[in-house]
């Protein structure tokens, strides 16, 4: 199989249970090296059947709870470079939200309809992401990225987060498939 | 939906087919990829997968397979296959785009691993009360034998057919060929119609096509009108790919601020006309008048294409003859109508005059070079499911005025609906139809012919006449407003508060006078209301029917219950006689149970008036009760037949073999009942072996528990009435659940009924003097322990201000002995209660006017029948008619040699037969079913 060539060609980070350096879109660098996650950490999501082809998502520190300001998104790539996400403190409790108010969530910013970037359309008043610049799809971030208006047939993929005692927020998995990819952990998908 | 973080890719050699989306009329193209689930799967490089995509793909690629586009199916070979249904980026309609529905096409196909797993794989036949699977051969043989026998015995019209017209032409062709051609029955209709009629009859009368535009017109139009249509959310891809790119200004006519309306006002230079529902005709008339005032009509088109007086004189089609007008007549009509001036229209429709002006400019103001503006008129359910004929006719007239048909960027079209196609294998046999309207043959109204007993077999193909228009996104809407989710059968208005000031000082010492005055005042109050929501309108409609009736009976079916009734304390023990006739297991009374139940609204009025006017005689002039006809799963023929006999109270002819429906109809006629009917889903209990065992087990457990409490009582003995006995599985289960609900309710009685409401401990046993009597009754008559049903189950948990649940005061054990009680009742109230209708289809309301004068009753029945006879009239609640200002707009008619629709559907008007079925009120989607019956 030609998987390695493809990975090299696209300069994807190799993910084989090792750490990943992640560049924040704002320019700040948050790098963390933490050991591989045990299998199925993210699968703890309640009431939903989660199918993970590759449970070995990287475990990456993306921000500190104490640095977050409500309504000011922090962007980061996860689980691989090129898969852009947005971490935000919604100011109201959210599904899968972390922190003392359960209001910190992270979502992919690639619209699950046709992939337009949703970086600039966060609406803090309603806690929604959208309308998407292409077809006006809009997602409710407090309801696990549900499409509340528009054309997407899937939720916006949500990043599974964990928070440490120190306030460090770690991305540990992904709910849903990021637009454009056949598998979130793309390089591994090729081996299947 | 399961969350997936990967999707297998179809290999390069996967089976590929081109298909269209199964959902809406836009008709997007999809590619279906099928390959063995065992693999091998495709690879992410372009050569390695069937989509030829190099993953990851970028925005707008149209090659990404979302999780909702993927499924696993099992084919007849017993093997599992992966399926991906991906928007076709080569299709000119969607260019790879998709809607939330289309993107989920793969979720709707049968999969042994998904929510669709329980779809039927074999024909089922009801044998011995249960649905049994049989072979296809056997099913076909049974159908053939039965249909053949019925045709031979009764003739073609004994067959009624209701069939779907979606998916492909191939489906309707054999159905119509068989039933309209070979069998020859006039009793047929497609899935959503009362008869074989069109949905936009006015448009075809005018000579315009329902689907008269091409998608390219959306990009060429200078103005796009969306009348009662929400293009962004309901025609997603048409809107996104064929209207948005040109950014033409839009005129959106919608009572709601939809996304399309917001788009019109913010994204493009359009206008949103937020009209009062049902005033479309006035709005269209005002626009037409404004066009004529300014001289913006397309004279060249009108002169060339509208009918002259001679054309109309030669017209043969009866509806065209009846409604047609020349342009000059039409102009005279529009200018004669006061309602169509800007000021009046603004007042009636609620749309500011300047917005109407702006919309008129957008629709009809000629371009600077003098060419007519290119206007694309689209309309959908807001127009078609409102006052159909007049609204669509008004829009058709607008299209003629502006020349919006048959030219690039100009046209009129429906904008919505499901995939539909109709190819007749045989024409509808109008010559066999027996329904007429004003002497003209019209297609038969199926339900009427079924009620008349003419139809022996009703063949339903891909349609659901029972649940028609009542399901939305697989949820039954029932009595809940589609938009607000409000239950219209709760929160009835407090009539006392509404009319007390009008009554002040006017009550006399004459009881009869007082009752008449109160009723008159209530009627005036109802007429003075202007409802803001569909729920409010329904409440007023029903109240109007009920306010002057001596008896108001609200027929219900509970989730799971024995027969019981709710009524007001003052009406006891009179209504106990009614309860006895019904065989009710319990009677529950309350002055005010909270939540505003219908059976309390009128008694409350009289009670409060009596209290407020101690010196004046105010009797309890409305005997209102809610009759709860068991549980929704108790759908058994013999129970229904028994209930149908009971309302009459006439035991003499109980067993003469008269079919239940006919008896019911006879009774309805005899008692001059007006019935309003709503519906919630019928639940046909499943009777698979596993279910039966589970039920039996539940009964045993509950029976044992009960026996533990109550001493030795054999299982099944606790069922209240003899006729229920033997229905062990249902009745005993109902009793058991009723008993458990009762114990829960009883706990609350202690709180609400006892002296100390604040008493936090409601777990004490029920303590009430009546209950001692109940115990005796129960022992004597083997009544179940406390057959109450928690009335506050789903939608109306009654609570007081502090949030504590309120439960009605219970009167039990008040069954008068048959002889003595009867005499007392006769002395007290000479007219025995009647006015029930079979309540097994769900929620049924019978509103009986038992003691109103015969003449009045007759008038009312005629009025009710008359309303249903006049299809082209607006329904009684339509503002146009309420206000008495509007005449019917005459519709201009196009000259003959215009293209007729490719598939010829016979035009229809509904039945003129006197109505003998109860009028149906669909409690969902406002008035769609009533209207569709009148205006197919």
Asked if residues B470 and B924 have their Cβ atoms less than 8 Å apart, the reply is yes
- Rounded Cα gap, residues B274 and B351, in angstroms: 6
**Half-sphere exposure (Cβ direction) of B346: Cα atoms closer than 13 Å:** 12
What is the mean pLDDT of the segment spanning B858-872? 39
Q: Inter-chain contact B59–A51, Cβ cutoff 8 Å? A: no
Partners of B7 on chain A (C-beta within 8 Å) are 177, 182-183
B11 contact A CB<8A: no
- Rounded Cα gap, residues B639 and B717, in angstroms: 18
Residue with tokens 């969607």: B94
CA distances from B731 to A38, B734, B936 (A): 53, 5, 42
The confidence band for B33, taking pLDDT boundaries of 50, 70 and 90, is: very high
Phi/psi at B500 (5° precision): -60, -40
CA distances from B432 to B156, B173, B417, B444 (A): 9, 20, 30, 9
pLDDT of residue B571: 87
pLDDT of residue B663: 59
Q: Inter-chain contact A115–B59, Cβ cutoff 8 Å? A: yes
Phi/psi at B194 (5° precision): -75, -30
Partners of B247 on chain A (C-beta within 8 Å) are none
Asked if residues B213 and B376 have their Cβ atoms less than 8 Å apart, the reply is yes
DSSP β-ladder status, A60-64 and A168-175: antiparallel
pLDDT of residue B471: 55
Partners of A130 on chain B (C-beta within 8 Å) are none
Query: Of the candidates A49, A182, A192, which has its C-beta nearest B55's C-beta?
Result: A182
Q: Name which of A12, A177, A184, A187 to mutate to probe chain B: the one with the most chain B Cβ atoms within 10 A of its Cβ.
A: A177
B372 contact A CB<8A: no
Query: Of the candidates A52, A113, A117, which has its C-beta nearest B5's C-beta?
Result: A52
- Helix or strand run (H / E) with residue B466: none
Closest to B199 measured CA to CA, from B690, B913, B908, B926? B908
B208: tokens are: 């315009």
* Shortest CA distance from B7: residue in chain A: A182
Cβ partners under 8 Å of residue B78, min gap 6 = none
Report pLDDT digits (tens) over B514-545.
999 999 999 999 999 888 777 888 888 888 88
B120 contact A CB<8A: no
B291 contact A CB<8A: no
More confident residue, B744 or B455: B455
Q: DSSP per residue over B802-829, as a string?
A: TS-B----B--S----HHHHHHHHHHH-
Q: Inter-chain contact B259–A1, Cβ cutoff 8 Å? A: no
Worst-scoring range by mean pLDDT, A79-83, B330-334, B464-468, B865-869?
Answer: B865-869
Taking 70 as the threshold, does the pLDDT of residue B888 lie above it? no
CA distances from B557 to A128, B190, B629, B695, B840 (A): 42, 30, 5, 21, 7
pLDDT of residue B900: 38
Could you tell me which residues are beta bridge partners of residue A76? A85
* Shortest CA distance from A177: residue in chain B: B5
Query: Of the candidates B3, B45, B236, which has its C-beta nearest A6's C-beta?
Result: B45
The confidence band for B644, taking pLDDT boundaries of 50, 70 and 90, is: low
Taking 80 as the threshold, does the pLDDT of residue B293 lie above it? yes
CA distances from B901 to B67, B195, B651, B932 (A): 41, 19, 57, 22
The confidence band for B697, taking pLDDT boundaries of 50, 70 and 90, is: low
Most confident of B131-135, B512-516, B561-565, B749-753: B512-516
Report pLDDT digits (tens) over B616-639.
999 998 889 988 888 777 777 777
Structural domains for chain B: 15-108 (3.30.200.200), 152-486+887-936 (3.40.228.10), 494-532+549-683+764-851 (no CATH)
CA distances from B341 to B292, B350, B387, B393, B451 (A): 12, 13, 21, 19, 46
In a domain, A124, yes or no: yes
Q: DSSP per residue over B653-680, as a string?
A: TTTS---HHHHHHHHHHHHT-EEEE---
Q: What is the domain count for chain A?
A: 1
What is the mean pLDDT of the segment spanning B474-483? 67
pLDDT of residue B292: 96
What is the mean pLDDT of the segment spanning B26-30? 93
Partners of B53 on chain A (C-beta within 8 Å) are none
Taking 70 as the threshold, does the pLDDT of residue B868 lie above it? no
Taking 70 as the threshold, does the pLDDT of residue B185 lie above it? yes
CA angle B821, B822, B824 (to 5 degrees): 65
The percentage of residues in chain B with a pLDDT greater than 70, rounded to a whole number, is: 67
B681 contact A CB<8A: no
Taking 80 as the threshold, does the pLDDT of residue B919 lie above it? no
Partners of A112 on chain B (C-beta within 8 Å) are 66
In a domain, A159, yes or no: yes
Phi/psi at A63 (5° precision): -170, 175
- Rounded Cα gap, residues B433 and B452, in angstroms: 15
More confident residue, B497 or B701: B497
Q: Strand, helix or coil at B41?
A: coil
Q: Inter-chain contact A82–B56, Cβ cutoff 8 Å? A: yes
Q: Name which of B1, B2, B6 to mutate to probe chain A: the one with the most chain A Cβ atoms within 10 A of its Cβ.
A: B6
pLDDT of residue B410: 94
Query: Of the candidates B43, B56, B102, which has its C-beta nearest A1's C-beta?
Result: B43
Residue span of the structural domain in which A14 resides = 3-185
- Rounded Cα gap, residues B145 and A32, in angstroms: 76
Cβ partners under 8 Å of residue B281, min gap 6 = B387, B390, B391, B394, B880, B886, B889
pLDDT of residue B800: 44
* Shortest CA distance from A57: residue in chain B: B5
The confidence band for B321, taking pLDDT boundaries of 50, 70 and 90, is: confident
- Rounded Cα gap, residues A14 and B10, in angstroms: 24
Taking 80 as the threshold, does the pLDDT of residue B849 lie above it? no
Q: Inter-chain contact B6–A153, Cβ cutoff 8 Å? A: no
B236 contact A CB<8A: yes
What is the mean pLDDT of the segment spanning B178-198? 90
In a domain, A191, yes or no: no
pLDDT of residue B645: 63
Strand ranges for B827-928 from DSSP E: 844-848, 891-892, 919-920
Q: Inter-chain contact A177–B8, Cβ cutoff 8 Å? A: no
Residue with tokens 């209708």: B837
What is the mean pLDDT of the segment spanning B725-738? 32
pLDDT of residue B576: 80
Residue B842 DSSP label: S
In a domain, A23, yes or no: yes
Asked if residues B479 and B228 have their Cβ atoms less than 8 Å apart, the reply is no
Report pLDDT digits (tens) over B62-113.
999 999 999 999 998 999 999 999 999 999 999 999 999 999 999 989 998 8
The confidence band for B436, taking pLDDT boundaries of 50, 70 and 90, is: very high
The percentage of residues in chain B with a pLDDT greater than 90, rounded to a whole number, is: 39
* Shortest CA distance from A113: residue in chain B: B98
B47 contact A CB<8A: no
CATH number where A177 lies: 2.102.10.10
The confidence band for B648, taking pLDDT boundaries of 50, 70 and 90, is: very low
Partners of A49 on chain B (C-beta within 8 Å) are 2-3
- Rounded Cα gap, residues B552 and B850, in angstroms: 9
Q: What is the mean pLDDT of chain B?
A: 73
In a domain, A190, yes or no: no
Q: Inter-chain contact A182–B69, Cβ cutoff 8 Å? A: no
In a domain, A53, yes or no: yes
B462 contact A CB<8A: no
Taking 50 as the threshold, does the pLDDT of residue B457 lie above it? yes
B258 contact A CB<8A: no
Query: Of the candidates B6, B101, B102, which has its C-beta nearest A53's C-beta?
Result: B6
* Shortest CA distance from B55: residue in chain A: A181
Q: Name which of B3, B61, B64 to mutate to probe chain A: the one with the most chain A Cβ atoms within 10 A of its Cβ.
A: B3
Closest CA–CA distance from residue B374 to any residue of chain A (Å)? 25
């Amino acid at each position: 199989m030609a998987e390695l060539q493809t990975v090299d060609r696209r300069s994807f980070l190799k993910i084989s249970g090792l750490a990943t350096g992640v560049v924040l879109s704002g320019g700040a660098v948050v790098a963390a090296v933490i050991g591989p996650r045990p299998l199925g950490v993210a699968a703890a999501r309640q009431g939903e059947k989660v199918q993970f082809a590759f449970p070995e998502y990287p475990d990456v520190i993306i921000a500190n709870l104490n640095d977050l300001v409500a309504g000011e998104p922090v962007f980061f790539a996860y689980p691989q470079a090129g898969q852009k996400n947005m971490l935000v403190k919604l100011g109201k409790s959210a599904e899968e939200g972390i922190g003392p108010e359960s209001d910190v969530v992270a979502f992919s910013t690639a619209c699950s309809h046709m992939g337009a970037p949703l970086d600039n359309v966060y609406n803090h008043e309603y806690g929604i992401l959208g309308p998407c610049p292409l077809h006006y799809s809009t997602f409710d971030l407090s309801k696990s990225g549900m499409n509340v208006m528009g054309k997407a047939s899937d939720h916006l993929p949500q990043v599974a987060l964990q928070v440490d005692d120190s306030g460090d927020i770690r991305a540990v998995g992904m709910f849903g498939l990021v637009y454009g990819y056949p598998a979130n952990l793309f390089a591994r998908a090729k081996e299947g | 939906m399961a969350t997936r973080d990967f999707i297998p890719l179809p290999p390069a050699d996967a089976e590929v087919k081109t298909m269209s989306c199964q959902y809406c009329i836009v008709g997007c193209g999809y590619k279906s990829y099928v390959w063995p689930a065992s693999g091998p799967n495709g690879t992410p490089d372009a050569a390695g997968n069937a989509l030829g995509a190099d993953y990851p793909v970028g925005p707008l690629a149209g090659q990404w397979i979302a999780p909702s586009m993927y499924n696993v199916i099992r084919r007849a070979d017993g093997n599992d296959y992966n399926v991906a249904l991906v928007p076709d980026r080569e299709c000119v309609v969607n260019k790879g785009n998709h809607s939330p529905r289309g993107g989920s096409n793969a979720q709707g196909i049968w999969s042994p691993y998904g929510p669709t797993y329980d779809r039927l794989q074999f024909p089922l036949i009801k044998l011995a009360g249960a649905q049994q699977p049989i072979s296809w051969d056997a099913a076909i043989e049974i159908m053939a034998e039965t249909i053949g026998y019925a045709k031979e015995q009764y003739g073609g019209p004994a067959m009624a057919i209701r069939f779907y017209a979606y998916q492909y032409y191939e489906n309707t062709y054999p159905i119509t060929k068989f039933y309209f051609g070979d069998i020859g029955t006039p009793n047929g209709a497609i899935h959503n119609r009362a008869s074989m009629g069109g949905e936009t009859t006015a448009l075809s009368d005018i000579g315009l096509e329902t689907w008269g535009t091409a998608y390219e017109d959306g990009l060429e139009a200078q103005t796009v009108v969306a009348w009662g249509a929400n293009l962004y959310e309901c025609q997603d891809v048409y809107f996104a790919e064929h209207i948005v790119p040109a950014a033409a200004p839009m005129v959106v006519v919608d009572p709601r601020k939809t996304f399309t309306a917001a788009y019109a006002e913010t994204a493009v230079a359009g206008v949103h006309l937020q009209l009062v529902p049902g005033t479309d005709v006035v709005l269209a008339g005002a626009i037409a008048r404004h066009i004529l005032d300014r001289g913006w009509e397309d004279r060249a088109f009108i002169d060339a294409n509208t009918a002259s007086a001679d054309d109309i004189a030669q017209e043969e089609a009866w509806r065209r003859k009846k409604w047609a007008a020349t342009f000059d007549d039409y102009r005279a009509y529009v200018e004669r109508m006061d309602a169509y001036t800007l000021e009046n229209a603004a007042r009636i429709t609620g749309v500011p005059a300047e917005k109407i002006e702006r919309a008129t400019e957008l629709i009809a103001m000629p371009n600077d070079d003098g060419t007519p503006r290119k206007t694309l008129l689209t309309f959908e359910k807001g127009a078609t499911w409102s006052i159909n004929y007049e609204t669509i006719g008004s829009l058709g007239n607008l299209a003629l005025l502006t020349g919006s048909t048959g030219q690039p960027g100009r046209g009129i079209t429906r904008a919505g609906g499901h995939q539909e196609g109709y190819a007749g294998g045989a024409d509808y046999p109008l010559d066999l139809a027996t329904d007429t309207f004003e002497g003209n043959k019209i297609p038969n109204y199926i339900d009427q012919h079924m009620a008349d007993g003419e139809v022996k077999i009703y063949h339903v193909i891909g349609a659901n006449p029972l649940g028609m228009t009542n399901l939305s996104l697989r949820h039954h809407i029932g009595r809940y407003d589609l938009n607000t989710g409000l239950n219209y059968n709760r929160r009835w208005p407090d009539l006392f508060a509404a009319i007390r000031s009008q009554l002040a000082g006017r009550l006399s010492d004459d009881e009869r006078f007082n009752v008449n005055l109160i009723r008159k005042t209530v009627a005036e109050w109802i007429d003075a209301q202007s409802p803001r929501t569909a729920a409010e309108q329904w409440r007023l409609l029903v109240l109007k029917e009920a306010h002057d009736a001596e008896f108001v009976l609200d027929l219900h079916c509970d989730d799971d219950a024995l027969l019981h009734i709710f009524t007001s304390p003052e009406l006891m023990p009179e209504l106990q006689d009614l309860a006895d006739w019904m065989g009710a297991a319990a009677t529950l009374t309350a002055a005010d149970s909270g939540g505003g139940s219908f059976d309390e609204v009128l008694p409350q009025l009289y009670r409060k008036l009596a209290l407020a006017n101690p010196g004046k005689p105010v009797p309890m002039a409305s005997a209102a009760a809610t009759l709860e006809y068991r549980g929704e799963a108790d759908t058994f023929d013999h129970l229904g037949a028994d209930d149908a006999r009971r309302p009459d109270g006439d035991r003499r002819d109980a067993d003469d073999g008269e079919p239940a429906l006919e008896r019911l109809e006879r009774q309805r006629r005899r008692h001059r009942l007006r019935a309003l009917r709503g519906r919630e889903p019928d639940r046909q209990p499943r009777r698979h072996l596993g279910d039966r065992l589970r039920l039996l087990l539940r009964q045993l457990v509950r029976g044992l528990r009960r026996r533990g409490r109550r001493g030795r009582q054999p299982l099944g003995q606790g069922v209240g009435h003899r006729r229920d006995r033997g229905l062990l599985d249902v009745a005993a289960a109902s009793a058991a659940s009723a008993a458990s609900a009762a114990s829960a309710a009883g706990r609350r009685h202690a709180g609400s009924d006892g002296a100390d409401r604040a008493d936090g401990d409601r777990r004490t046993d029920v303590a009430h003097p009546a209950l001692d009597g109940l115990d005796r009754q129960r022992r004597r008559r083997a009544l179940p322990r406390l057959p109450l049903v928690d009335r506050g189950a789903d939608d109306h948990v009654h609570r007081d201000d502090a949030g504590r649940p309120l439960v009605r005061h219970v009167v039990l054990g008040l069954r008068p002995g048959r002889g003595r009680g009867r005499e007392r009742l006769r002395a007290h109230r000479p007219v025995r209660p009647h006015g029930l209708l079979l309540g097994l289809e769900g929620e049924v309301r019978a509103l009986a006017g038992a003691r109103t004068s015969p003449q009045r009753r007759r008038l009312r029945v005629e009025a009710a029948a008359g309303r249903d006879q006049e299809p082209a009239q607006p329904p009684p609640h339509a503002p146009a008619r309420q206000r008495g200002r509007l005449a019917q707009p005459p519709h201009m008619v196009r000259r003959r040699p215009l293209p007729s629709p490719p598939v010829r559907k016979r035009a229809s008007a509904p039945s003129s037969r006197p109505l003998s079925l109860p009028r149906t009120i669909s409690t969902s989607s406002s008035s769609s079913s009533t209207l569709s019956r009148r205006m197919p």
